[in-house]
Every structure is written in structure tokens, then in C-alpha cells.
Chain A
Amino acid sequence: MILKKHFKHTDAGETLLAGLEFISIGGRPKQNLHCRQLDQYAAQGIADIGKTHITLKFLNGDKRFKIDATPGIYCQHCKEHFPLDGPEVPRSQRGQIARDHVAEKHKGKKSSDPSNPSGYKVQSYYATTLEQ
């Protein structure tokens, strides 16, 4: 995805972010929206994160992204999902929960993901598809 920042100048001489212009989505209408970026966009009033969709409010029009997968840990064998954070899964234990799952349910099986030979993947983004 390619974006362009636009700024505005105040009477006090400050330069403030006016918003983002959407230039292109890239090769496919798929985009992983990274949590840290989204948090910043939300704080700037650019991102609206819903349960099923994320809307990015660009200066040249809103873009609506359908959420295909939420952040979390995903088993690469059965795609079981473990949330990244929350009272039931402290950050310090989240990897162990996935390792226990793989050891119990998929022992001895080779991971389908060459980047994650452990058999699970930590996904710190919303996997999305651009709708409009």
C-alpha cells in the first residue's frame, strides 16, 4: 500500500498532519494492517476499527477493509487461533500455549510454513481485504 502524508500550517507556525492520501493498494487488494500503525492512525482519527471491518479515512475518500484474520497466534497445522493479549492469555505465556498445543495435537508433523518451523505463527496485524 502506498500513502502520502499531507500537512497543514497553523497561524502559530506549527505544521500538523492534515491526513493521509491513498495512492494505491499494491499488487493485490489484500493488506496486513499492522497493530502499531493502526493504533497511531486511530489516535489521529484516521482509523476506525470495527468487529468485521476497518475503515481508513483518507483525504481522497474512505477505504473499507474487511477483516479476514485478527491479530493472534495461529497454529500452522490446524489454524487454531490464540489471542495475543487479554486476561486469559498473558503476553509472557502466549508462546508457551501455542507450543503446548503443537506438541499435543501435531507432534512430529512438519510445519507448512518455512518461516515458522515451530508450527505456529505470531501475527501482529489484521489481515484484510480492501472492499472499496
Chain B
Amino acid sequence: MADVVINRALGKIHQYAENVDSNSPAASVLRMFALVVTGGVGAEDNAIRDLSTMTMTGLFALTNVAEATNSGYANQQMSDVDVTITIDDANNRVDIVGGDQTFTSVVAGDVWTDLVIAYDAAGTDSDAATIPLSKHDFAVTPNGGDITADEPVAGFARCAG
């Protein structure tokens, strides 16, 4: 479950996830990025919360935040077939599942601190058009093996009214 919901995404994660689920736009996807935050897990949460895109003038413009550069690393993509949205009227909330994501054969180098899930409407993996939605604490030291982000049963985000 998210440790931080980015301000721009407040109340909108459900809509962005439903866009992906319904293929509207057709190429829209969610992406999971690994971050390296100087100062460790959660050190830049307040700054990350305020950013609107993944671009170099957005999240990756922060002095102490960078995307992982380990050999073998690439962001993970979740498309319409991966997303399940469960509405819970009794508790007035919506849970969003994207599924476990595995980064395969990530070579040692950067030490990861966090994950960000973002909405890419065009599906082109352009940082400028990709909107960060949630940030998840994720302290991992790559060693050449696979790295799996285990998602709770309820999903990666919960939107409550």
C-alpha cells in the first residue's frame, strides 16, 4: 500500500487506474520506477509529494532523487489486463491492484530506497508525460538476482471517501 500519495494524484488514482483498465486512451499504462534517494527511505517524501511529472523538471529534478541506473534495470509496465479495481461500498473505498512486479537480473550498483507508481497516458515511457501517483518505501540492495515488489492483497493504492 502507498506510503505517499502524490498531491497531483489525490482523488484521481482511481480514475487513472480505470483509464488503464478500460484502454482509454488505448495505450495507457501504469509504470513502476525504482528510486535512489540520498538520505534513505522516506527522506524526500515531502518533496516527492509535490511533483507533477517524472521529468527532469519534476521528480527527477530533485537534487537527492534519481531513477535507479543499475544494469538490467528497467521500469515495469502494468496494462489493462493487470489492473483490478474493487469497490467497497461498506467501507466507502476503492482498492487498486496492479500485481507483483519483478525486476529481473538487476546488477549491483545503486542501492534502491523507494518505488513510484506512475500513470503514462500515451504509453510511450516519456518522463514529461508520466504522472507520479504513489510512492512506496522499498529498501533493496541489488546483487544480480531478481527483485520482486510484493503487492498486498488489497493492492498498491486505496482511495477513500
* B150: chain A residues within 8 A (beta carbon): 36
B141 within 8 A of A: no
B97 within 8 A of A: yes
The minimal Cβ–Cβ distance linking B51 to chain A, given in whole angstroms, is 23
B80 within 8 A of A: yes
The minimal Cβ–Cβ distance linking B18 to chain A, given in whole angstroms, is 7
> Which stretch from B4-12, B68-76, B128-136 is at the chain A interface?
B68-76
Sorting the interface of chain A by its residue count into under 10, 10 to 19, 20 to 34 or 35 or more gives 35 or more
* CA of A97 to CA of B89, assembled, Å: 45
Chain B 74-111 per-residue mask, 1 if CB under 8 angstroms from chain A, else 0: 11110011111111111000000101101011000000
CB-based nearest A residue for B150: A36
A98 within 8 A of B: yes
Contact B146 A27, beta carbon cutoff 8 Å:
no
Interface residues of A in 89-108 (CB under 8 A from B): 94-96, 98-99
The minimal Cβ–Cβ distance linking A23 to chain B, given in whole angstroms, is 7
| Dominant SS among interface residues on chain B | loop
* CA of A125 to CA of B76, assembled, Å: 15
B64 within 8 A of A: no
A3 within 8 A of B: yes
Which among A6, A23, A121, A125 is the interface contact of B99 at CB below 8 angstroms?
A: A125
Interface residues of B in 28-59 (CB under 8 A from A): none
Contact A28 B86, beta carbon cutoff 8 Å:
no
Contact B97 A28, beta carbon cutoff 8 Å:
no
Contact B146 A95, beta carbon cutoff 8 Å:
yes
Contact B80 A26, beta carbon cutoff 8 Å:
yes
Given A27-B80, A36-B100, does the pair A95, B87 have CB atoms closer than 8 Å?
no
CB-based nearest B residue for A94: B146
The minimal Cβ–Cβ distance linking A124 to chain B, given in whole angstroms, is 4
The minimal Cβ–Cβ distance linking B35 to chain A, given in whole angstroms, is 17
A112 within 8 A of B: no
Contact B105 A2, beta carbon cutoff 8 Å:
no
Given A120-B104, A122-B104, does the pair A26, B83 have CB atoms closer than 8 Å?
yes
Contact A26 B21, beta carbon cutoff 8 Å:
yes
Which among A5, A27, A116 is the interface contact of B89 at CB below 8 angstroms?
A: A5
* B24: chain A residues within 8 A (beta carbon): 27
* B97: chain A residues within 8 A (beta carbon): 34, 37
* CA of A15 to CA of B145, assembled, Å: 43
Given A1-B85, A27-B23, does the pair A32, B72 have CB atoms closer than 8 Å?
no
Looking at A26, A121, A127, the one whose CB has the most chain B CB atoms below 10 A away is: A26
Contact A95 B145, beta carbon cutoff 8 Å:
yes
* CA of A34 to CA of B87, assembled, Å: 18
Nearest 5 Cβ contacts at the A-B interface: A27-B23, A118-B105, A122-B102, A118-B104, A95-B146
